[in-house]
Amino acid sequence: MTSMTMIEAIRDAHMVAMERDDTVVVFGEDVGYFGGVFRCTQGLQERFGDHRCFDTPISEAGIVGAAVGMAAYGLRPCVEIQFADYMYPAYDQIVSEAARLRHRSAGDFTAPLVIRMPTGGGIFGGQTHSQSPEALFTHVAGLKTVVVSNPYDAKGLLIAAIEDDDPVIFLEPKRVYNGPFDGHPDRPIVPWSKHPLGEVPEGHYRIEVGTARLHREGSDLTVLTYGTMVHVAEAAAEEHGLDAEIIDLRTLVPLDVDTIVASVTKTGRCLVMHEATLTSGFGAELAATVQERCMFHLEAPIIRVCGWDTPYPHAHEWSYFPGPARVGYAMRELMDA
């Protein structure tokens, strides 16, 4: 076991996958010579050569389109979209080509590719570097969508995603890339995580796509969340003295419904939270799933705590995404219902 940040764990996952399988290739904007804007691919080009880790033009549609073609003909591309906000030019390639290739060809062709994207706010990146577009992918049949919250899961899930025979959207919250983000000096310091480094196994291991993780056991209420919000939920529960059970979903599609149902059935209360905007966010799908599967066990209405329905506010981002104060208030409201 080695202590790593999420960036180091993602880099190590690339190394392991590329060493085990010479069909794995990595490319995107600045991922080769520069090692990626967040350094997640640093050292790959030096180790594996520029035919397996290389830079591309600034064309997200070209990056994903090339990856789909490579995947159809036997390679396993793992490509990086520099920020999730930049994926929109590639959306047609993701939805119309990657997601549908297996079914459109009756299984003659598959698209074993991974599209990595830094996601979410907290680094003062403004509207074009802070979005959380996961719901745009979870709506598309044929895609798997992963959001990681810690280094251990980041490595194990990325290896599993690269080895998967279908396309995987792999979202990496920027706020926990290097551990807790304390914020601007004139903003309140928020303990996003008490464990900035994760203990990560050396070598190859997998975490199967489609499995949730019990982050914190409790009996008062269930919190369903993912990514950075896992740590926000933990901070809120501890600050407000609540015995909250926190489920880190890890994979949004396919969703681990059994783990969700078991937890909500036990606690009888459910809080759903994510950083993305409220309306049509993935939290609505979670709330519907809980209502359909756990209605007779619920002791209070399901509550959602999410980002506001506004374009991402650069100057007020610490008010935009849920923090421990807002989440704690919602937890108390749920307990009093």
DSSP secondary structure, 108-167, as one string: S-----EEEEEE--SS---TTS----HHHHHTSTT-EEEE--SHHHHHHHHHHHHH-SS-
Q: Are 246 and 331 in contact (CB under 8 A)?
A: no
Mean pLDDT of 242-260: 98
Residue count of the chain: 337
As annotated, the active-site residues are: 129
Among 32-36, 134-138, 237-241, 310-314, the least confident range:
310-314
User: How far apart are the C-alpha atoms of 125 and 103, rounded to whole Å?
Assistant: 38
Of 82-91, 103-112, 186-195, 319-328, least confident by mean pLDDT is 186-195
The per-residue pLDDT for 120 is 93
The CATH code of domain 2-200 reads 3.40.50.970
- Using CB atoms within 10 A of its CB, is residue 74 exposed (0-12), middle (13-18) or buried (19+)? exposed
CATH code linked to domain 213-336: 3.40.50.920
97, 153 contact by CB (below 8 A): no
pLDDT at 278 over 70: yes
Reported confidence tier of residue 187, pLDDT bands at 50, 70, 90? very low
The residue among 158, 152, 248, 136 whose CA lies nearest residue 195 is: 152
Quote the CA–CA distance of 225 and 282 in Å, as a whole number: 10
The proportion of the chain whose per-residue pLDDT surpasses 70, expressed as a percent, equals 94
Give the span between the Cα atoms of 244 and 65, in whole angstroms.
43
Residue 188 has pLDDT above 60, yes or no: no
- Position 295 scores a pLDDT of 97
Pairing status of strand 198-200 against strand 2-4: antiparallel
Confidence of residue 196 (pLDDT cuts 50, 70, 90): low
pLDDT value of position 189: 37
Total-model pTM: 0.94
pLDDT of the residue at 247: 98
Residue type at position 33: Y
pLDDT score at 63: 98
Instruction: Please state the domain extents for the chain.
Output: 2-200, 213-336
Q: Indicate the average pLDDT of the chain.
A: 92
Which helix H or strand E contains 222, and what residues bound it?
A: strand 221-225
Give the separation between CA 70 and CA 84, rounded to whole angstroms.
22
- The reported pLDDT for the residue numbered 97 is 97
Residues 139, 144: Cα–Cα separation, whole Å: 10
Residue 248 pLDDT > 90, yes or no?
yes
pLDDT of residue 312: 79
Cα 336 from chain centroid (whole Å): 31
The whole-number pLDDT of residue 180 equals 53
Of 86-90, 123-127, 141-145, least confident by mean pLDDT is 123-127
Q: Does the pLDDT value for residue 173 go beyond 80? A: yes
Q: Supply the pLDDT for residue 69.
A: 98
Tell me which of 133-142, 175-184, 206-215, 306-315 is least confident.
175-184
User: Is the pLDDT score of 287 beyond 90?
Assistant: yes
Residue 122: per-residue pLDDT? 79
Report whether pLDDT(134) > 80. yes
Domains 2-200 and 213-336 share a fold: yes
The reported pLDDT for the residue numbered 125 is: 80
- Confidence (pLDDT) at 281: 97
185: buried, middle or exposed (CB in 10 Å: 19+, 13-18, 0-12)? exposed
- Please report the sign of the dihedral spanned by the C-alpha atoms of residue 6, residue 7, residue 10, residue 12: negative
Read off the pLDDT of each residue in 237-249 and give the average, rounded to a whole number: 95
Q: What is the mean pLDDT of residues 112-140?
A: 92
